[in-house]
Amino acid sequence: MKVLVTGGAGYIGSVTTKHLIDAGHEVVIFDSMELGHKEAIDPRASLIVGDLRNYDDILGAMQKVQPDAVMHFAAYALVGESSENPGKYFRNNDVGGVNLADAMQACGVKRIVFSSTCATYGQPEKMPILETTPQCPTNPYGQSKFIYEQMLRWYQKIHGFRPVFLRYFNACGAEGGLGEDHAIETHIIPNVLKVPLGKSPEVKIFGDDYNTPDGSCVRDYIHVSDLARAHVLALTADYSGPLNLGTGVGFSVFEIVEAARKVTGHPIPAVVSPRRAGDPDMLVADPSEAKRVLGWEAEYKNPEDIIRTAWEWHQAHPNGYAE
Ligand code: UDP
């Protein structure tokens, strides 16, 4: 298939582009290059630089490419920033998203695989999280993704779109030359690895008084290669609707730091710090629907295996792609 990948110069978009092309698909990347990295762009893909907030940009790209399907990664994704500047998130993730959907409709493109998130669930009471768990986002980032899922459901009803919402849990890890390089890094694994890289004296543990076995937050860490595989399967699956992408097992922040110590051989001093606003105690997926629909299951289930891939990438790219 010919696939238009928005955000294909970003972290999950670049790894998925590699998987798509390896599987025999043709990829055209649409990316503003505001946060994407040119070094992350697969040389076998072509690139159109454009901004989703500009309808003419995405309409022009859609008309030129005439893709069979769209994979939509391009978005702002910082919870904290979204809580300070919600308009930035709704404008890019939702207004930009409407432009994308309208451009698809104008060109007769009906299939879209959308990068959604467990942040659309908010803080559910029951674990693990099912696709039917009520969605009550607790920050504008999660809300913007939830709104776009709902918008796409109307395009499904009215225009016959066939959307798949892949709700990622905690994306992490690296594959080959492709890794995590964010201008502002908030995620635990890259932040832990800054210590053995000599870029930070210690890692901060945001809260040890949560309602979890060791008091730190529990998350479901899903490797970016597993996410990319799920996208390739979702592209051709006879299915529309949401799918949770996680391992089904949660690990605490303390456990992640301990796993990073084992992988790197560095003592990694950790300092318990105040809670970060808006962090739920525990987020763990029930991934059985993705298994039933796609025959997909995470291959990376052990945090040490995941962190090892990230550690190799960060050692090879101590300053990210920027070198
Ligand atoms: N966290 C932490 N120190 C950091 C970064 C994150 O203790 O330097 C915690 C964070 O409070 C959360 C967990 O690690 O409980 C995962 O956070 P991350 O930002 O990686 O992902 P999120 O679950 O927020 O999407």
| pLDDT tens digits along 267-283 | 999 999 999 988 899 99
Same-domain pairing of 226 and 288: no
Same-domain pairing of 237 and 278: no
Average pLDDT estimate for 168-174: 98
Active site residue 141: yes
CA 6/CA 62 separation, integer angstroms: 11
With bands split at pLDDT 50, 70 and 90, how would you rate the model's confidence at 51? Answer: very high
Same-domain pairing of 52 and 8: yes
Last residue of a domain, one of 181, 211, 245: 245
Same-domain pairing of 207 and 131: no
State the residue range of the domain holding 262: 173-219+249-322
CA 102/CA 25 separation, integer angstroms: 24
Same-domain pairing of 94 and 199: no
Same-domain pairing of 141 and 201: no
Question: Domain tally for the chain?
Answer: 2
- The active-site residue, picked from 141, 148, 168, 221, is 141
- pLDDT at residue 265 is higher than 80: yes
Same-domain pairing of 196 and 233: no
With bands split at pLDDT 50, 70 and 90, how would you rate the model's confidence at 70? Answer: very high
Quote the pLDDT of residue 1.
98
| pLDDT tens digits along 137-168 | 999 999 999 999 999 999 999 999 999 999 99
CA 254/CA 252 separation, integer angstroms: 5
Ligand 1 pocket, 219 CB below 6 A?
yes
Q: Are 67 and 3 in contact (CB under 8 A)?
A: yes
With bands split at pLDDT 50, 70 and 90, how would you rate the model's confidence at 184? Answer: confident
Q: What is the CATH number of the domain that holds 214?
A: 3.90.25.10
Same-domain pairing of 149 and 202: no
- pLDDT at residue 323 is higher than 80: no
Pocket test for ligand 1, best of 203, 206, 245 (most atoms within 8 A of CB): 206
CA 60, 64, 70, 73 torsion: positive or negative? negative
Atom of ligand 1 nearest to the CA of 204: 3
Which tokens hold the place of 289?
């629907």
CA 228/CA 98 separation, integer angstroms: 24
Quote the pLDDT of residue 278.
81
Q: What is the CATH number of the domain that holds 40?
A: 3.40.50.720
Pocket test for ligand 1, best of 208, 253, 272 (most atoms within 8 A of CB): 253
Same-domain pairing of 25 and 35: yes
Ligand 1 pocket, 231 CB below 6 A?
no
- pLDDT at residue 103 is higher than 80: yes
Same-domain pairing of 72 and 185: no
Atom of ligand 1 nearest to the CA of 275: 11
Ligand 1 pocket, 276 CB below 6 A?
yes
Q: Whose CA is nearest to atom 14 of ligand 1?
A: 188
Q: Are 154 and 103 in contact (CB under 8 A)?
A: no
- pLDDT at residue 200 is higher than 90: yes
Angle at 12 between CA 9 and CA 18, to 5 degrees: 70
Which tokens hold the place of 262?
């084992």
In angstroms, what is the span from residue 299 Cα to ligand 1's centroid?
A: 22
Rg (CA), the chain: 19
Q: Are 32 and 100 in contact (CB under 8 A)?
A: no
Average pLDDT estimate for 31-41: 97
Quote the pLDDT of residue 321.
94
| pLDDT tens digits along 224-238 | 999 999 999 999 999
Query: Mind spelling out the 3-state secondary structure of the chain?
Result: CEEEEECCCCHHHHHHHHHHHHCCCEEEEEECCCCCCHHHCCCCCEEEECCCCCHHHHHHHHHHHCCCEEEECCCCCCHHHHHHCHHHHHHHHHHHHHHHHHHHHHHCCCEEEEEEEHHHCCCCCCCCECCCCCCCCCCHHHHHHHHHHHHHHHHHHHHCCEEEEEEECEEECCECCECCCCCCCCCHHHHHHCCCCCCCCCEEEECCCCCCCCCCCEECEEEHHHHHHHHHHHHHCCCCEEEEECCCCCEEHHHHHHHHHHHHCCCCCEEEECCCCCCCCEECECCHHHHHHHCCCCCCCCHHHHHHHHHHHHHHCCCHHHC
Percent of the chain with pLDDT over 70: 100
- Per-chain mean pLDDT for the chain: 97
CA 176/CA 136 separation, integer angstroms: 36
CA 316/CA 167 separation, integer angstroms: 30
Same-domain pairing of 193 and 210: yes
Ligand 1 pocket, 186 CB below 6 A?
yes
Q: Whose CA is nearest to atom 12 of ligand 1?
A: 217
Same-domain pairing of 64 and 89: yes
